[in-house]
Amino acid sequence: MINSLEITNLQSHKYSLLEFHKGVNIIKGRSHSGKSSIVRALIWALQNKPSGFHFKSHFSEAKENTEVSIEFENGEYISRIRNNTFNGYTLSGNENGLEALRTDLPDEIKAITRMNDINIHSQGDKYFMLQETPGTVAKELNSIVGLDIIDEVNKKVTRIVDASTAKHKQLSTDIKDKKEEIKKYKHLKDAEKLIKKIDSLVESGSILRADAMELESIRTKIESAQDDIDNINEWLKVEKPFKAIKKKQEDLIQLQSKELSLSSWLNEYKKLQITSVRINEVLSLEKGFKKTKSILNKLSEMRLKHDKILKLYTDIGNTEKSLNLSSECLGVKLKEKAELLKSHEDEFCSKCGSHRQYWRKK
């Protein structure tokens, strides 16, 4: 039971408050005085229809609300509100409000109003059940009291039974046909044994192919390792020249030591030469001439030896460069050999480097 209806800024209503009493309530007035707008306000609040906003009063300001509030006899109320920022409901006990999406009605509003289309009869609608056929009236009454559920259940049960019966007949026929068809495939057991045997042979073949591929891979690795060993052996041939170069390097060090000694002696000689010049001034010209000639001869010999030593020093320097280059190459190859022997330590001798196939069997 609705106790009161409050309308604000909806069509011709600036503000209207209607209070209802138990029993029949009649609203009368001249045409276009807002009687139909009251019904539209009820529909808008109770059913969230229509979804537009054309019913807002033309005389209201843009920022003002269009609002319809309904109070029920149990003290609960709902308010349908729309403005520029909010479109939804407020209700007793909920201050946050509920959004109204399209024409969907929130469940909280349905729980309070407990109304649907049958509760509101607008102008122009047919009279309720007075213009319907007896069958339609009976159907509607059954729906109201809940008897239509029995008819729906009977119809569903009948459909299920009919469908099950037809399915049973169809399955029985299919079973007979399949039994006859199975008789044609009695030989499949022998074929199954043959297929299993073929599968076993195929599996064995796959294992053999895998073993063959693995052996081929091992053979390729062995050939590659043998090529590496041959290359290392070629480089090992440089070992003897390397030792000879090493010996020359030692000789070069000795010659450098001798060169230092000669340089020291030459300095002493120069000092001696200066001293001899002073002595020559004191000694007689003849005696000094003979002694000086002898010293010059020795000096010439020493210069020749010095030139030879310088040439030998240059040759030794060039030899040392070649020796360092050969030493670096030999070190790289020895390192490669060590890494190769380490990676194939099970296939090559750790002492002599020979391959497993050349080992002497005990």
Q: DSSP secondary structure string, 69-120? A: EEEETTS-EEEEEE-SS-EEEEETTEEEEEE--TT---HHHHHHH---GGG-
| Whole-angstrom distance, CA of residue 60 vs CA of residue 148 | 48
Backbone angles phi, psi at 216, to 5 degrees: -65, -40
**Residue-level pLDDT at 11:** 92
| Whole-angstrom distance, CA of residue 228 vs CA of residue 238 | 16
Q: Are 41 and 34 in contact (CB under 8 A)?
A: no
Mean pLDDT score, 40-57 = 89
Q: 226 vs 117, which has greater pLDDT?
A: 226
Per-residue pLDDT at 183 exceeds 50: yes
The amino acid sitting at 145 is V
Work out the pLDDT band at 142, boundaries 50, 70, 90: confident
DSSP letter, residue 358: G
Per-residue pLDDT at 354 exceeds 70: no
**Residue-level pLDDT at 168:** 87
Tokens 């050969």 locate to: 326
**Residue-level pLDDT at 17:** 94
**Residue-level pLDDT at 348:** 61
Q: Which CATH class, in words, describes the domain spanning 2-125?
A: alpha beta
For the range 223-230, what are the long-range contacts, defined as Cβ-Cβ under 8 Å and sequence gap of 24 or more?
Answer: 225/340, 225/344, 225/347, 225/348, 225/355, 226/355, 228/336, 228/340, 229/337, 229/340, 229/348, 229/353, 229/355
Nearest C-alpha neighbor of 316 from the set 235, 233, 259: 259
Q: Of the given ranges (75-84, 161-170, 275-284), which has the lowest mean pLDDT?
A: 275-284
Highest mean pLDDT, choosing among 85-94, 303-312, 351-360: 85-94
Mean pLDDT of the chain: 80
How many percent of the chain have pLDDT more than 90?
A: 14
**Residue-level pLDDT at 362:** 43
Per-residue pLDDT at 341 exceeds 70: no
Q: Which residues contact 340 (CB under 8 A, 6 or more apart)?
A: 225, 228, 229, 232, 348
Interior/surface letters 277-308, b for 16+ CB within 10 angstroms, e for the rest:
eeeeeeeeeeebeeebeeeeeeeeeeeeeeee
Backbone angles phi, psi at 237, to 5 degrees: -65, -20
**Residue-level pLDDT at 224:** 81
Per-residue pLDDT at 281 exceeds 70: no
What stretch of H or E contains 347? none
**Residue 276, number of CB atoms within 10 A of its CB:** 16
| Whole-angstrom distance, CA of residue 68 vs CA of residue 101 | 17
**Residue-level pLDDT at 13:** 94
- Sheet containing 94-99: give its strands across: 13-19, 2-10, 66-72, 77-82, 87-91, 94-99
Mean pLDDT score, 143-160 = 78
**Residue 79, number of CB atoms within 10 A of its CB:** 19
Work out the pLDDT band at 196, boundaries 50, 70, 90: confident
Write down the domain spans for the chain. Answer: 2-125, 127-183, 187-231, 238-343
Per-residue pLDDT at 126 exceeds 80: no
Q: Of the given ranges (19-33, 161-175, 222-236), which has the lowest mean pLDDT?
A: 222-236
Q: Are 5 and 31 in contact (CB under 8 A)?
A: no
Work out the pLDDT band at 42, boundaries 50, 70, 90: very high
Tens of pLDDT, residues 203-260: 888 888 888 888 888 888 888 887 877 777 776 666 667 777 777 778 778 887 877 8
